[in-house]
Each structure stands twice: as structure tokens, then as C-alpha cells.
Amino acid sequence: MSNEGRPAHQAAHVPATLPQLPVRAVLPTLSDALRSGTRAVLAAPPGAGKTTLVPLHLLGASWRGDRRIILLEPRRLAARAAAGRMAELLGERVGDTVGYRMRLESRISARTRIEVVTEGVFARMIIDDPELSGVSTVLFDEFHERSLDADLGLALALDAQSALREDLRILVMSATLDTDRVARLMEDAAVIESAGRSFPIDIRHADRPAGERIEDTMARAIRDAHAAESGSILAFLPGQAEIRRTMERLEGRFGDRTMLVPLYGNLTQKEQDAAIRPPPDGMRKIVLATSIAETSITIDGVRVVIDGGLQRLPVFEAATGITRLETVRVSRASADQRAGRAGRTGPGIAIRLWHAGQTAALPAFTPPQILGSDLSGFVLDLAQWGVTDPASLRLIDQPPAASLEEARSLLRLLGAIDAGGGLTPVGRKMRTLSLPPQLAAMVIHAASEGMAAEAALLAVLLTEQGLGGSSLDLEERLRRFKAERGERAESSRRLAARIAEAAGAKGASVPIHPGALLMHAFPDRIALQRGGRGRFVMANGRGAELPETEGLAASAMLVIADLTGQAGRQRILAAATVSRADVEAEMAENFVREEQCVFDPSSRQVRARKVTRLGAILLEETPLPRPTGPAAARALADGVRQLGLQALPFSKSGGQLRERIGFLHRSLGEPWPDTGDEALLARLDEWFTPFQEQTRGLDDVTPASLSEGLLALVPHGVQRDLERLVPTHFEAPTGQRHPIRYDGSEPTLPIRVQELFGLRQHPAVAGGRLPLLLELLSPAHRPIQTTRDLPGFWAGSWKDVRAEMRGRYPRHPWPEDPAGSMPTTRVKPRGT
């Protein structure tokens, strides 16, 4: 490691030797790349040592000067573990040369030169200080996880490098990465690849039986592996609930020489440290973990990995504004990462709980968060950066348009951005609070009412999972959180105090019910019980449910802070009761009092009522006399949309008019309108509503008004051409009028063949451009033949038709020369 050109006091930070891990082989190449350039990509498989060795190696780079190295980690556990391991290699304490910074905790000092931060913290760092003063290098570790904060952080770092800090070094590191895409994004970035893990891994498969719960399969696989293999076991499950159920199945099965420990994000630091710490001599450990254990950390002593093949990912639905957790198959990259945990310290075994052939069907990578996340915080950060269109930044994947628009709409509602997407003073203050936008808006409003401390506690409770227990009732959870002991709870309360202070808190907070606070965060999720105990309708018009056994199920009104599930079947995860009086006092500007006309499907009538509502929540209604007029006509149109066009009494002639106009649209196009069901329903306000202002119900609609409305869709200048182009009837040579059908792809005329005798030219419509499809009928009105060329029929197949029909219908004329014969509707006289 070169210390050339560096002061002696700086060189002392660099360890004399580094552990013999695979990444050491490429450190000189990496040094050269960052000395001659400012961007690089390092691909290093699990166990290569990149997380700890690369930052320590770069301490000795001549271009670093005395500036800090920032190492980004996706999770707090990984950040603490990485800082602890590097400090250990330096023979120091965390907070000296190496420190960390995260939302609830920081251990840094004036001596710190390697600062390990979580990705969200870095995004705030660079937005608040675009020049990254005092920073020489930014390392994005485990970038393959593609968190929203990492994508944003890299885009902002590249932007800052281009405009403000040409000397800033940017290194993207990953165990499994689409290096070509990242390298293209970073333009002239050097790509360095490290060798793989140090030890071989025996990958085995144990297919999960169809219908068996993952915890049952996992518990059996762990028991078998514990009996057959030595060393500790790391088992991957999708979430906390599955870990808890697996532990229940395993407790007491292994004696006192095996430790059974969980590992997931909601645990305290002490509990997480216990999971990754080596077991005492002579002991084995079984760690049940979520995907938190995939990257960045080494769990000492693990020789066997058992992968359930599942992970839980957040999925944002722009249509509902709700993020729900979905259990999905892991990607091939994640499966490789998990297997790699077994080969960190020696030869290992990876047991996959799926059939070997299913691996090829797994997605290559886990979908990036930017494609399936709530983007409100992202858009707020961009507005602070001065960007309204994310396409102007170097993002690997651009966010979905629907999610972007949903985020902008929410931020405009909260007053955080203006119509042009620029940051408002309220939005600027919201950004200082390090909270999701809705909760930041809640705290800011509460501060103006002297309730900032209470609101900040509630906001932290909602953003730090597991605080205050697992009750759905936020009042109960907040009460428990205030009384909770332990390092995590105390750190969370300190964070709440800092948030309250930043929001402008003055003096002690006024006690207030959580529901009254939450209304200012989630006004669209104020909910009224409707349809029975535990069933609610929200102000946004969507339904939500909770079990009837829950205490909140009996509440008349709630404010819902968290829910999951797809539209129509949303389950409440966290809520607080609220009174009608509180809602009226706090949300008075959102109440609407109006007279409404609504369609009643059961009676097919329009009803009038005077209502008080909050969004889609109907709080009061008073019946009014049955109405007429434009509002009633619009309500009647709503009824048609509900019941379909079949609810309307089209007459025979009205139905034919619709077919004729529709035929012209299909055949000639504009200006003739489409009269299909979908098109007519979409244009009810043009052809139906204006003609029903004196109508009170569907049964009062007249066929004449429908025909009049259909004709109104036809431009006045071409209405006179309707009869000429698509006549209703064809006048046969006999003088008889026969209706023409226009319901198919071509105009059709069913007619008895004898009525066409003497006709030498094929009949047509549309000014002679479209021939009629003649359905030639026998005297008994049964089909004989169809033709689009009558003269050709007379000269051709008539002979065969005549031969067959003469014997069947001897009393009707069947001349040899029909074109030269007289048309008739009669039979031959008897005896002829």
C-alpha cells in the first residue's frame, strides 16, 4: 500500500497488513484506477473482503489528502458490523479512525476518516452539502440491492462530481451486479473484478412438498442438517412471522450445546450483535434470518446455509397510494449471495428448499426499489436538489410515470411543492425532519399547535418497526413506547426530541390523542365504520378491514396509518380512533355540504339528497323531493354506466339507426361516430344527458329521445347524407320494401329470390360504393345462397339452384332466364 506524499500522522491510520482475502489481489489495480480516474466499479463475490479491505486500503491513497472516505451500507446492522471489523483491524475503537452514522445512532469523532453510513443518511448528506466538503471518496457497497436511496445517492454523487467536485472519487461495489449497465451509467468508469470466495460450497436441494408451510419445511431441514453436519447453521426465511413460527417448532430440540437465535431488522442492537457473534467454544449456533443476513456481515462459525428461497419485498401501488409487503421468490443473485454465506470461513454446504430445475426460472436480480416504491420522499429530495424531472439525472432505471404523478399529487396536497414542482417553504422544512412527507407534515402542523413532541414520538413510532409492541391500536403502542426501556427505545425518543426541536417545538407538548394528529398526515385515510364491526370506508373511497376481535373494530371512526393488501381487500395494520368532533374541528375545510342527485339501481330512479361528506365518507344525508334538470340527467347517466346500455329502451328503428351510423363509422370513418357500447357509454354526456333533463328514472326514458340523441352525435352537415348512404330499406323490383341490416361487417339484405327477377345490376349502398350482401331466400324464407354479384349468379350457379328448387317448390316460378323475367311475390296459377 503506497503512502507516498502523505504526512506521517495520516500514514499511521493504515494497517500494516490486511487479512488474506481474495479482494487483496485487485487492490493495486483499484488504486491505479482511482489515481488515474475518478470512477470505478468493483465486482467481488461474497467473502472477497471488499467491505472492509477496500476502505482501509484507500486510507493510504495519496489523492485522499486528509479527507474522509464515506462507505454506504444498505442496513444499520451491516454499517455497525463493517465499522466494528475495520476498527478491530486497526486496533482501535469504533469512533476513532473508523466510525458510523445512522438515523438513531452515530459514533464518529474529529479523528474519523472512514465514515460508514446508511444509504438514507448519505442522500441527506449530499443534498444538504452538494460539494461533500471534506469527503474524498464515496463507496457504494452492496449496490446490487438497488435500494431507492442508493440509486438516488449515486445519481446525486455523479451530478455533484460533474458540476462541483471533479476530484471526488466514486466507487460502486457489489457481489452480484450488472456491471455493464453501471459502467455505462458512470461513463468512463474502470471495471475491476475480484476472484470468488475462498472456500468451496456444496450446493444441495431439498424440494418443499406442495402445500407445506415454509416453516415446517425449514424446521425439518434444520433438524436434519444439525444431525448430519457440524458447525453453525444460517437459515433464510422471508420475514419475522416465519422466523417466530420456525423457532416455536425447534425450541427444546437440540439441547444446551446449540443456541437458537433470530436475526431481523426490528431486533435491538444487542440482539443483532448476539446473532452474528461467534458462539462460545464447544457451542453451535442456529441463526434464523431474513435477507438482512445476505450481505456485508459475516456470521462466524456458519458452515451450513439453508435457503427457503423466499423474500418479502415492498410493492407500491400508485392507484391506492399504499405500499404492501409481498412474499416472492428470491432472485438467482440473492440465492448465490445466501449460498456464499456458507463459504466465508471454510468449506460449506448450501441447502436450497426447492427443486434444482427451478433455479433457472428465478429472476436474475431482485427488482430495483425505484420501480416499486412510494416516491414522495424521492421527489421531495429532488425538489431540494433543484430537479423536477428525474430523467435529467443519471439513474439506472427511471421511475414509473404513475408513481411519480402520485408522489407529486401527494406533495402538492401537503403543500410541499408548488404547481411547477418547486420546493415550497413548507417542503423545505419537511425535508429537515428526516421523516416520510406525510409524517413530516403532521409534525409541522402539530408544532404550530404546541404538540410537536407528541407528534414526533408518534412519527418515530411509525417509522421504527417494533417500538411499542405489535398492537394495531396506536394509542396503546404509543403509551408502551413512552414507557419502554432499552437502548433502542431511548435512542428513538432522543430522535423524536431532535425532530420536535427541528420542527420548532417550544416548551412542553400538549397531550393529544394520536388520531387527532394522524388526520394531518393521512387525511385520505380517515375512515368511518360501514358494513359491520371491523369494516370501514376511507375518505379516499376504498374499504379497509380489521379482525372483529380487535378492540378498534368497534370504533365509529379511525385514522389509518398503515395497511396492506390489494385494492378492495385492504387490511389495517395500524390505526387510532378519532371522534366526529375532532374531525370536524381539525378538518373543517375538507368537509363538503351539498345537494346531490344519485341513481338508485334498485328502483332505477334518480333520488335527491342533502349530504355532508368528507371525501367519499357520507356522514349525513337528508332526502329531498324527486328531482329533474341537468343534475338529475347526469345521475341518470351514472345509472346507465352502472347497468349498461341494455337498460335503455331502444326502439326497433332506434336500434337500426345505431347500426347504420356504426356501419358508416366502420366503413368510412370520420365524421361518422362510433356507436359501439364502449363508445356510447363514454359519450353519454353528449347524446344521452342533454335529452333527459325532464326524466326522473330509466323507465321514463322514451325511445324517441334515444334516437334523437344518437342523431345528435352525427355532425349536422352530414346528417342529410345518412339516408342516401345507408338507407333503411331496399325497394325491390316488385315495389316491396325490405329492411337492410347493418349489424355486421357489410350491409346485408335477406330477400326472396323471385323478387329480384329482372334485376341486371347488383344493388349497393354508400353511393354505389358498397355492394349489399344478398341473402337469397326460398319461398319458405330459407337461405338458398349468398352473393355479392347478382348478374354473375344469374349467369352461373342459378342453373343448379333452379334444378334443385323446381322440384321442391313447383308452384313458384323458376325461369331459365331470371334476368329477363318479371319479378313476383305470387305463386303460379293452378294448372300452369
CA distance 235 to 221: 9
Cα-based angle 466, 342, 120 (whole degrees, multiple of 5): 40
Cα 48 to Cα 364, 377, 457, 702, 752, distances in angstroms: 21, 34, 42, 80, 89
- Give 416-446 pLDDT, tens digit per residue: 999 999 999 999 999 889 899 999 999 999 9
C-alpha closest to that of 823 among 756, 766, 767, 777: 756
Q: Would you tell me how many other CB atoms lie within 10 Å of the CB of residue 689?
A: 21
Helix, strand, or coil (residue 326): strand
Nearest to 499 by CA among 443, 424, 415: 443
3-state class (DSSP) for residue 384: helix
627: confidence class by pLDDT, cuts 50, 70, 90: confident
- With CA atoms as reference, report the closest residue to 114 among 56, 64, 156, 60: 56
Please say if the pLDDT value at position 175 is more than 80. Answer: no
CA distance linking residue 391 with residue 376, whole number of Å: 16
Per-residue pLDDT tens digits for 302-312: 899 999 999 98
576, 561 contact by CB (below 8 A): yes
The answer, yes or no, to whether residue 498 has pLDDT greater than 80, is yes
- What is the CA angle 280-286-290, rounded to 5? 125
Domain boundaries, the chain: 8-193, 201-370, 727-820
Task: Show the CA angle centred on residue 33, arms to residues 30 and 34, nearest 5°.
Answer: 90
Least trusted range by pLDDT, from 8-17, 65-74, 115-124, 329-338 = 8-17
Quick one: pLDDT at residue 568? 63
pLDDT of amino acid 7 = 42
Q: Give the number of other Cβ atoms within 10 Å of residue 531's Cβ.
A: 10
In terms of Cβ atoms closer than 10 Å to its own Cβ (0-12, 13-18, 19+), residue 416 is buried
CATH fold, domain 8-193, is Rossmann fold (3.40.50)
Q: What is the mean pLDDT of residues 570-577?
A: 92
Distance CA 520, CA 426 (A): 14
* Measured distance between the N- and C-terminal CA atoms of the chain, rounded to whole angstroms: 122
Mean model confidence pLDDT for the chain = 89
Domain 201-370: give its CATH superfamily.
P-loop containing nucleotide triphosphate hydrolases (3.40.50.300)
Q: Do domains 8-193 and 201-370 have the same CATH topology?
A: yes
Quote the DSSP letter at residue 179: H
Write down the pLDDT at residue 3.
42
In percent, the amount of the chain with pLDDT more than 90 equals 60
545: which strand partners? Answer: 535, 571
pLDDT tops 80 at residue 491: yes
Mean pLDDT of 787-816: 91
Helices and strands (H and E) in the chain: how many: 29, 31
pTM score: 0.72
Tens of pLDDT, residue by residue over 721-737, are: 898 899 999 999 999 99
Query: Is pLDDT at 197 greater than 80 in this prediction?
Result: no
pLDDT tens sequence across 119-154: 989 999 999 999 999 999 999 998 988 899 999 999
Amino acid, res. 577: T
Give the confidence band of 47 by pLDDT, cuts at 50, 70, 90. confident
pLDDT category, 606, cuts 50, 70, 90? very high
DSSP string, 191-221: EEE----SS-EEEEE-PPPTT--HHHHHHHH
Range list of β-strands (E), 425-568: 526-529, 535-538, 543-545, 557-564
C-beta contacts of 354-359 below 8 A and 24+ residues apart: 354/205, 354/207, 354/208, 354/309, 355/205, 355/207, 356/205, 359/332, 359/335
Chain mean position to CA 661: 42
Query: Which range (66-70, 545-549, 825-829) has the least confidence?
Result: 825-829
| Radius of gyration for the chain, computed over Cα atoms and rounded to the nearest angstrom | 38
Q: How far apart are CA 282 and CA 294, in angstroms?
A: 26
Q: For residues 369-379, give the mean pLDDT.
A: 91
Average pLDDT over residues 498-518: 83
Range 592-596 average pLDDT: 85
Cβ atoms of 364 and 216 closer than 8 Å: no
Q: Which pLDDT does position 199 carry in this prediction?
A: 80
CA angle 451, 456, 457 (to 5 degrees): 105
Phi/psi of residue 481, nearest 5 degrees? -60, -40
